[in-house]
Amino acid sequence: MKDTNAIEDAIRGKCKQELQSIVNNFMNELENKIRGEYNSANFYDFKAPNSKRDSFHVMGTVQLQGVLNNMLYSAHLESMVEVKSKELVAKLKLEI
C-alpha cells in the first residue's frame, strides 16, 4: 500500500463487505423462505411507518438489495471505518 489513503480504502472496502454480507444473508432468507416457500411477489414499497409521504417502490431483488446496501452504507459505514481504524492504530501501537 502506497499511503494512508490506500489503508483507509482497504478498511472501507472491508466494512462494505461486512455490510453486504448482512444484506446477502437477509436476501437469501427472503428468497428461500418468503419467495420460495410462499411464492409471493417481489415488489416492495418503502413507506414511512406513520405517513403516506416519502415512499418509493422497488421491483425485484436486485433493486431491493441495492436499496438495503445503500441504507446500511449511509447509516453505518463511517462509524465502522472509524472503529476499525482506531483498532488498527491500537494494534500497531501508534500515536495519533
The predicted-structure confidence for 24-77, as pLDDT tens digits, reads as follows 999 999 988 888 888 888 888 888 887 767 788 898 889 999 999 999 999 999
Which pTM value belongs to this model?
Answer: 0.82
Closest alpha carbon to 6 in 88, 69, 93, 94: 88
18: which 3 cell numbers?
461486512
Query: What pLDDT sits at residue 56?
Result: 85
Handedness of CA 47, 59, 31, 80 (dihedral sign): negative
Per-residue pLDDT, 96: 62
Q: What is the pLDDT of residue 21?
A: 98
| Residue 80: how many other CB atoms lie within 10 Å | 18
What are the backbone angles phi and psi of residue 32, rounded to the nearest 5°? -75, -45
- Position 53 scores a pLDDT of 74
1 pLDDT exceeds 60?
Answer: no
